[in-house]
A and B are shown apart, each in its own frame.
Chain A
C-alpha cells in the first residue's frame, strides 16, 4: 500500500446524548484536524464510548452535529459513513479466514475479485501478517487478531479511523509493541484517528492531542504534556499521572496556607479565586536532601515508605502538621536513598506547583 490518504477533519458541534432522564453525554464541542491522532480518555461511564458510537453511527445523538470534512453525517447509517473501526474485542468474523475478514469491506464495496486479493495481501503485509491469510481468527493469538482487525479497518483507506480500546485485551508488553505499530500505521495511512482508551499512558504515548472526559463532559483538551503540566482541575491532575493535591485555605500574593496548616510560597495566587483552590504538585518536582535546601518551600519530612519501581524511587513522606507528600526521585547508582523512618529535607520551587481552581 502506498500513498497516504488525506485524513478527514472532524468536528462535533453541541453533540449530546440522553437516555430518558440519564445524560450519557452533555453537549460536546470538539475539533479534530485532518491527519490528527486524537485520543479520548476517561473512566468508564465518562461518555467516551458514546461519543465514538455517535461517530460510527451506532448511537443517534439527541442533539448536535458531527461534521466530517464539513458535512453532517448524523443521519447516515454506519455502512455509508466510510469510517474504519477497530473494536476492543477485535470483532473478527469467526467463520471467515483472515484474508476473507480483511477482504470483507472491499467485497461490500463491490471491488473486483482480483483487486481484492491484491489489496488484502498488501494490507496484511502492512501489519506483518502476510503469511496468515488462510488462518481462521480462532487460530491466532490476541495480538495477531488485533493486527488483522487493523488491516481490515485500513484496507479500504478510510479517511477516518475509530479505535475503541483496541489494546484493552492485550498484556502489557504486547500493548507497547502494538502502540508502535498503530502509530506507524497511522503515519503510513495519513488517516485521522480517534482513539478511545482508559489508559492515560497509552493516550499520552500515541496521541497528538487528548480529550479527558468525565461524567459525560469534556474536562480538558490539549497535547498530553500540556495537560500534564497545566491540568484544568483536580480530576484531570489525578487522572493523568500522579499528583499531590493540597487544598488551599487562604491565599495572599505569593503566600498560601494549606488545609493541613502549611505556609507555602507559590508562584502567583491570582488564579486562586476559584471555589476550591488546590495546589497541584507532581511527585517528580519534589526534591530531596541537599537539592531541596534553599528552595522556596522546604521542610524536614519523615519517610513513611520508599518503593523502588523500575528506575525510580517513590517516596511517601510526612511533612510537619501531618500532610503526606509523594515524591519521585530517579534511582541513580550512588545517589542517596532514604529508608522508611529516616528524616530528609523535602522541597520544591514555587514555580513547580500549579494552583487549580476546582
Chain B
C-alpha cells in the first residue's frame, strides 16, 4: 500500500514549476536545439562544415570583433556616464529621488526602435547634430556620423544607459552611509572614504551593470541596422543576411550559436569573478560544503 507523501510547502508548490518549465521547453529549449542542430547539418551531412565555412571567410571574424568592440565601447561609455548619475540619485531623498528615477525610466519605456529612429533623424546630414555644430562654427562641413560609427555608439549608449544605471543604483542604495562616517573618524579623508569604502561596495553593481549592458549589446539588431550606416555591421545583422538573403540556414545557425556560446562564456565568467568576495565568502560554512569539498 502506498502511503501518501506528507504535504510540505515546498512539495506543494514545486509542482507548479512544471508550467513555466513547459513554456521554456516549447519556446526556448526546442528552438535553440533546432538552431544548434541546423548549424551542425549543412548540405554535405552532419559535421562542423558550417563553422569551418564561417571562420574560413574573414567577414564573420571581422564582424564578430567589431561587435565585441562596439559592445565594449558602449559598456565603458555607459559606466562612465551612469556612475556619477547613479551616485547623485542615490544621495537624493524623497520627492527629488522619485523625480530623478522617473526621468531615468521615461526613455526606458519608449521603444528602442523609436529611439533609434530619433537618433537617425538627429544624425542626418541636414539634421540638428550637424546644424548645431555648423552654427557654432565647430565644423565647416557636415559630418557623417551615421557612417563613422558615432551615431551607432551614441544610439546604443542611450538605449543601454538605464541597464547600467539601475544595477548601480540598487548597489549604491544598499551601501550603509554610516560606514563612510566610520571611515572618516578612522582617519580617511573624503576621497579615500570613496575609494576604500563606497567604490568597493558599489562594485557588485558595476559588475552587474557591465554584464547586462555588454551581453545585451552583443545581440543588438535594430539600432545598428538603422544607425550603423554602410560602415558597421554587427553579428545579428550578419545572421539576418545569411538567413534571409543568402538563405544559408546552417551558416546563420552557426553564427547564432557562436554568439550564444560567447555570451554564455561571458556570463559564466561574470558569475565566477564578478561577484564580490563578500557575497561568496560571507556565508557561514554549512555541512554540505565539506561533503562537496568546498570548505
Chain A interfacial positions (CB closer than 8 Å to B): 56-58, 77-79, 81-85, 87, 89, 91, 93-95, 104-105, 108-109, 136, 138-139, 152-153, 156, 162
Contact = CB atoms under 8 A, between A and B. Distances in A.
Q: B interface, how many residues as a size bin?
A: 20 to 34
B188 A79 contact: yes
A139 B179 CA distance: 18
B208 to A, nearest CB: 16
A289 B197 CA distance: 65
A78 B185 contact: yes
B231 interface: no
B281 A93 contact: no
A79 B182 CA distance: 10
A58 B179 CA distance: 12
B144 interface: no
A60 to B, nearest CB: 14
B184 A57 contact: yes
5 contacts: A56-B181, A85-B182, A93-B183, A93-B196, A104-B183
B178 A89 contact: yes
Nearest to B284: A139
Nearest to B188: A108
B187 A87 contact: no
B201 interface: yes
A82 B186 CA distance: 7
Contacts of B200: 95
A77 B182 CA distance: 13
Contact of A58 (B181, B187, B281, B282): B181
| Of A56, A82, A91, most B-chain CB atoms within 10 Å | A91
A53 to B, nearest CB: 9
B196 A104 contact: yes
A258 B182 CA distance: 52
Contacts of A94: 179, 201, 278, 282
Contact of A87 (B182, B197, B277): B182
Interface in B13-47: none
Interface of B: 176, 178-179, 181-189, 192, 196-197, 200-201, 276-278, 281-284
Contacts of A139: 281-282, 284
A95 B186 contact: no
B282 A57 contact: no
Nearest to A83: B185
Contact of B179 (A84, A93, A109, A138): A93
A198 B182 CA distance: 21
B199 to A, nearest CB: 10
| Of B182, B189, B197, most A-chain CB atoms within 10 Å | B182
A15 B179 CA distance: 26
Contacts of A84: 185-186
Nearest to A140: B284
Which 7 pairs of residues, A with B, have the shortest CB-CB distance?
A108-B187, A138-B282, A91-B182, A78-B184, A105-B186, A85-B185, A78-B185
A77 B278 contact: no
Contacts of B188: 79, 104, 108
| Of A58, A81, A89, A94, most B-chain CB atoms within 10 Å | A94
A9 B184 CA distance: 22
Contact of B201 (A91, A95, A109): A95
Contacts of B182: 85, 87, 91, 93
Contact of B277 (A57, A82, A95): A95
Nearest to B186: A105
B185 A56 contact: yes
Contacts of A91: 176, 178-179, 181-182
Contacts of A104: 183, 186, 188, 196
A136 B278 contact: yes
A184 to B, nearest CB: 22
A139 B278 CA distance: 10
A58 B180 CA distance: 11
A95 B278 CA distance: 6
Contacts of A136: 277-278, 281-282
A77 B184 contact: yes
A108 B188 CA distance: 6
Nearest to A78: B184
A78 B181 contact: yes
Contact of A79 (B187, B277, B281): B187
A195 to B, nearest CB: 15
A78 B183 CA distance: 9
Given A105-B186, A138-B282, 11 more contacts: A77-B189, A79-B184, A79-B186, A81-B185, A94-B278, A95-B276, A104-B196, A108-B186, A108-B192, A136-B277, A152-B186
A153 B187 CA distance: 11
